[in-house]
């Protein structure tokens, strides 16, 4: 193995996949994190500044109109007042917080998880399989999952510093290993 390569190995269900990453891969992982961070931050800011974001109409009408397999779930969510009130705040502010987390590389895995969850919901709500099951929402969900899997917050991000912050003489993630699920 040269200094330019990193070997990967993972086993799931008895199948092992291996591969090599070139050192330039770090820049592409950073680019994915920043791209999704900027896109989500901008989308959230646009929603907040417009002051007109409301989820009820979308939830009640769009999924049934496009044949979503979970249209009934979306209609029920759209008819539940407390849930609509929650979503009206959670979507724009969630996009802003996810975007900021990714831009600065702080709580990156947590931000990427919620970004992937939102993209899954958008995928199901914006259901359109005219050109196949893979669309932009699905692809963005996979980008978020890749950002989390590669620990993209450690690349020019605050997570690298936070993980090494000493608590009781130990780096944070050694003292509290569960923090690795939020940072990185």
pLDDT in tens, 27-54: 999 999 999 999 999 999 999 999 989 9
* Residue 147 is assigned to a structural domain of this protein: yes
What is the pTM for the complete model shown?
Answer: 0.89
* Residue 91 is assigned to a structural domain of this protein: yes
DSSP one-letter code for 34:
H
Q: How do residues 81-140 score in pLDDT, each as one tens digit?
A: 999 999 999 999 999 999 999 999 999 999 999 999 999 999 999 998 888 899 999 999
Domain range for 91 is 26-156
How many domains does the structure of the chain reveal?
1
* Residue 97 is assigned to a structural domain of this protein: yes
* Residue 59 is assigned to a structural domain of this protein: yes
> CA 96 to CA 33: how far, in whole Å?
14
Non-local (6+) Cβ contacts of 1 within 8 A are 7, 20
* Residue 68 is assigned to a structural domain of this protein: yes
Strands (E), 23-134: none
Q: How do residues 141-168 score in pLDDT, each as one tens digit?
A: 999 999 999 999 999 999 999 999 999 9
* Residue 183 is assigned to a structural domain of this protein: no
Answer for the pair 125, 73: CB distance below 8 angstroms, yes or no: no
* Residue 134 is assigned to a structural domain of this protein: yes
> CA 29 to CA 11: how far, in whole Å?
22
């Amino acid at each position: 193995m040269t200094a330019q390569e990193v070997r990967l190995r993972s086993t799931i269900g008895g199948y092992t996949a291996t591969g090599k990453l070139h050192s330039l891969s770090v820049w592409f992982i950073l680019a994915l994190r920043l791209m999704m961070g900027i896109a989500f931050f901008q989308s959230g800011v646009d929603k907040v500044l417009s002051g007109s974001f409301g989820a009820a109409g979308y939830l009640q009408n769009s999924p049934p109109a496009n044949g979503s397999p979970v249209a009934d779930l979306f209609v029920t969510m759209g008819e539940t007042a407390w849930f609509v009130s929650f979503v009206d705040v959670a979507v724009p502010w969630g996009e802003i917080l996810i975007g900021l987390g990714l831009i600065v590389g702080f709580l990156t895995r947590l931000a990427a998880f919620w970004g992937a969850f939102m993209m899954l919901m958008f995928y199901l709500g914006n259901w359109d399989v005219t050109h196949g099951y893979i669309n932009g929402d699905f692809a963005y969900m996979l980008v978020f999952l890749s950002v989390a899997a590669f620990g993209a917050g450690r690349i020019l991000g605050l997570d690298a510093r936070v993980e090494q912050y000493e608590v009781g003489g130990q780096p944070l993630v050694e003292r509290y290993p569960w923090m690795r699920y939020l940072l990185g």
